[in-house]
């Protein structure tokens, strides 16, 4: 297992001095352990490491790296995951942000954790992704992937929007609300959680449909099988904004259809050997803590 990860790419949050220092330290650590180190193009520009290490694009990382290590917060991990999804390169996250649901190696323990992974002591976990498109008439006008969620919301409007929800082509209901969150198990601890959505274990083959401030209080979150097709049709005169992992957006018009399905692509996360999903939740969500400790 020692030779499994020979070429390792480092991807860091841009314009962060803490991350720049961490990337430099990790790159030297990996080189000292006989690994070939690549620095992602934007990271190299941000850290000034382009002269010391080979610089690679995301496509080159996906095609040639054995492992991608992401230094930053969940946002950096989400962006990297979408860009590497079509490849099979596994990913490890080092938390340089706040909560870090996806970046579970603490910065102070990062080198020891990476050393364990290089030695083959890790847990591999597949995470499902969503495929989403916006259809206008008979034409697809937008298409992308999401690891966390697809969110249809009212955008800058100071009122609710109205849309029809169809599942597998069957009409379910017309909803008036601030919007809808369509979430993977990974995204169930993100925006969906703040809207009272269910927490889905990553091994659950499901998609959560979570209304945002619905006008009808009986409109509750629904967990669907992950092979279902979810359609949301905007009813005139309501335009809406569609967000993908909170990073990419598309302004949809009245009459547009937003379609969300389980993607054929997924990502593989590597965790420390002692990783526990429930321990992570307990730490990040402050379960079992008294109010005075929060």
Q: Which residues are catalytic?
A: 74
Query: Across the strands, what pairs with 11?
Result: 70
**Could you tell me which residues come within 8 angstroms of residue 63 by beta carbon, excluding any fewer than 6 positions away?**
87
> What phi and psi, each to the nearest 5 degrees, are found at residue 125?
-140, 130
Q: Helix or strand or coil: residue 244? A: strand
End-to-end Cα separation, the chain, in angstroms: 41
Q: Distance between CA 226 and CA 19 in Å, rounded?
A: 36
Query: Would you give the DSSP letter of residue 2?
Result: T
Among candidates 68, 83, 86, 84, which has minimal Cα distance to 12?
68
Residues in the chain: 294
Query: How many other β-carbons are positioned within 10 Å of the β-carbon of residue 227?
Result: 10
Question: CA-CA distances (angstroms) from residue 198 to 20, 72, 261, 269, 283?
Answer: 36, 26, 19, 22, 18
**Strand, coil or helix: what is 121?**
coil
DSSP 45-96: HHHT-TTTS-EE-HHHHHHH-SEEEEEE-HHHHHHHHHHHTTS---EEEEE-
Q: How many CB atoms lie within 10 A of CB 248?
A: 16
Instruction: Give the HSE-up count for residue 167: Cα atoms under 13 Å, Cβ half-sphere.
Output: 15
């Amino acid at each position: 297992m020692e030779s499994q990860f020979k070429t390792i790419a480092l991807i860091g949050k841009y314009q962060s001095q803490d991350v720049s220092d961490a990337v430099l330290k990790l790159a030297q650590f990996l080189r000292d352990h006989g690994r070939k180190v690549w620095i992602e193009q934007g990271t190299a520009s941000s850290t000034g490491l382009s002269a010391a290490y080979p610089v690679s694009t995301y496509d080159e990382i996906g095609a040639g790296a054995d492992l991608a290590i992401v230094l930053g917060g969940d946002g950096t991990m989400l962006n990297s995951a979408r860009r590497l999804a079509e490849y099979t390169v596994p990913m490890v996250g080092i938390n340089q942000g706040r909560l870090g649901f996806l970046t579970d190696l603490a910065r102070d323990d990062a080198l020891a954790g990476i050393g364990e992974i290089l030695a083959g002591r890790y847990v591999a976990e597949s995470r499902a992704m969503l495929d989403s498109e916006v259809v206008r008439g008979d034409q697809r006008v937008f298409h992308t992937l999401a690891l966390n969620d697809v969110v249809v919301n009212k955008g800058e409007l100071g009122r609710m929007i109205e849309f029809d929800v169809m599942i597998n082509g069957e009409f379910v209901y017309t909803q008036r609300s601030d919007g809808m969150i369509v979430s993977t198990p990974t995204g169930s601890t993100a925006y969906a959680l703040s809207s009272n959505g269910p927490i889905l274990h990553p091994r659950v083959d499901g998609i959560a449909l979570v209304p945002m401030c619905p006008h009808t209080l009986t409109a509750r979150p629904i967990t669907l099988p992950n092979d279902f097709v979810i359609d949301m049709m905007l009813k005139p005169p309501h335009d809406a904004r569609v967000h993908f992992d909170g990073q990419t957006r598309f302004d949809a018009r009245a009459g547009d259809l937003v379609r969300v399905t389980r993607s054929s692509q997924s990502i593989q996360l590597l965790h420390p050997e002692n990783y526990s999903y429930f321990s992570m939740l307990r730490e990040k969500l402050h379960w079992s803590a008294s109010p005075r400790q929060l």
